[in-house]
Amino acid sequence: MVQTKNSNQKINLKLLQEALWNIEDKMKSYMESIADHEAELIRLKRQFNIIRQRITNLETKAK
């Protein structure tokens, strides 16, 4: 009976560890994805600002 309880506890521990590792892997994947999207947003914002400034300059020259 005691052996069965210990065996069950070991199995439960291994299952919980595996679940934790799976969650950790997903979290890392999501964090990498967020970082990639953040970098893309920064690039797009720079491009947006450059184009907006060019438009402003052209509008100023046209006046």
Q: Which segments in the chain show pLDDT lower than 70? A: 1
User: Tokens for 24?
Assistant: 């950790």
pLDDT digits (tens, 9 = 90+) for 35-52: 999 999 999 999 999 999
CA-CA distance, 9 to 14, in Å (whole number)? 9
Burial class (CB in 10 A: 0-12, 13-18, 19+), 17: exposed
pLDDT at 4: 87
pTM: 0.64
Burial class (CB in 10 A: 0-12, 13-18, 19+), 50: exposed
pLDDT at 1: 66
